[in-house]
Amino acid sequence: MEKLLIKGAEIIDPANNIQERLDLLVADGVIAQKAPVIEVEDARVIDAAGLICAPGLVDMHVHLRDPGFTHKEDIESGCCAAAAGGVTSLACMPNTMPVCDNPDVVSDIVARSKNARARVYPVAAITKSQEGRELADFAALKSAGAVAVSDDGRPVPSADVMLKAMELADTHGLKVLSHSEELSLARGGIMNEGEVSRALGVKGIPKAAEDVGVARDIALAISTGLPVHICHISTRASIELLRAASKLGIPVTGETAPHYFVFTDEILKSKDADYRMNPPLRTREDVNAVIEGIVDGTISAIATDHAPHAPFEKEDFIKAPNGCIGMETSLAAGITFLVKKGYITISKLISLMSTQPARILGIPGGTLSEGALADIVLFDPDEKWVVKPDELHGKSKNTPFKGMTLEGRVKATILGGRIVFGNGKII
């Protein structure tokens, strides 16, 4: 493997509290050295003047749709999208066909991801077939390579089953990632319940559906002292609940996604299903609360909930499945709507999108420490670009950022010392 010498970049490494113009040397797939000036004769030199060099992004919430729904995405195409977005590690959700609820499926994903352009960490199902009743074999799933468990796409309906899952997951060193939602309140709605849903005459999902689910899972963590991670937080009340739990020292973490700090349900007036997801886009009050939660540290991670769907599946506003893609736009969305607006620093954004997700999952990554895996993103924080769906690298094009001008563009992604994206192309 060739040596890489990245020269003149601004190194941002939140794990080591570094933000400094340095050279960085990669050798044998790891970070070999960081110093003001490095001279090595046998290295490939990357002129990174004007760029930021940061640990590769860690997206802890991705739907690769593989196995079973590969017309939407597969491991290869999903990892190409990841590389184009600066994502070097991703956790893939279990709502596949068959469901990732047994060691054979986990092992298959691990084996087929071996040469992918991102590190793929399987998240296995909490319950068999994601039916919410019988727990999967956590010991076998862990042994096969799962890093966490979740029934994402469906909540675990029973508090008793969720409690048992938290206890068993803790025993086997697995993180529980919770889709916290009370389905009896959601009642088959397709967007946020409010003025816009009523104006459109469509069934809405009340905020209470999320809030009640979040409250239940936090209550379980309080009563047991066991950790739980709340996925895709979108409401003001859920953030307040998470904030209160954090102040009490409860081991609860939470994530949000870029679409929840950018868009409101007003955009659904277009009846464009690319803006339909679950949880749904909420109100301006909720968007402001999400941003506040990011600013004050209540929210621990920004993930994408990357959810590809084929164009024909998104044609009908009412019948379309929920979800949007996000890995190629997440860094730029964070820069555009959080950093450039003065809410957070670029270092905090990298921490939310790389360092902290790696810590939550307990996986390598999120740091440029010497000896660490050379998983690196180089990006221009000021370059403006227009999101053109046809130019994205995954199979599906259902991005809510289509046609928007974003700031911050990935120029190169390095995985284990190998350049997997550069000059706008997958390598």
Q: Is 305 a catalytic residue?
A: yes
Q: CA 12 to CA 377: how far, in whole Å?
A: 10
Q: CA 210 to CA 232: how far, in whole Å?
A: 10
Which tokens go with 213?
A: 């689910």
Task: Please choose, from the candidates 200, 193, 403, 179, the residue with its C-alpha nearest in 3D space to the C-alpha of residue 286.
Answer: 193
CA–CA distances in Å: residue 351 to residues 174, 256, 301, 409: 22, 14, 8, 18
Q: Which of 66, 211, 217, 305 is catalytic?
A: 305
Are residues 95 and 123 in contact, defined by beta-carbon separation less than 8 angstroms?
no
Angle value at C-alpha 335, between 333 and 339, nearest 5 degrees: 130
CA–CA distances in Å: residue 332 to residues 225, 337, 387, 404, 406: 36, 8, 10, 11, 6
Contacts of 215 (CB under 8 A, 6+ apart): 241
Q: What is the dihedral sign for C-alpha 187, 192, 198, 200?
A: negative
Q: Which residues of 177-199 are buried (b: 16+ CB within 10 A; e: fewer)?
A: bbbbbbeebbeebbbbbbebbee
In the block, which residue shows the tokens 């820069």? 335
Which tokens go with 322?
A: 């929920």
Number of residues written out for the chain = 427
In the block, which residue shows the tokens 């803790």? 170
Task: Please choose, from the candidates 28, 26, 30, the residue with its C-alpha nearest in 3D space to the C-alpha of residue 48.
Answer: 26
Task: Please choose, from the candidates 6, 9, 11, 12, the residue with its C-alpha nearest in 3D space to the C-alpha of residue 351.
Answer: 12
Question: For the chain, what percentages of helix, strand and coil (3-state, to nearest 5) are there?
Answer: 35, 25, 40
Instruction: List the catalytic residues.
Output: 305
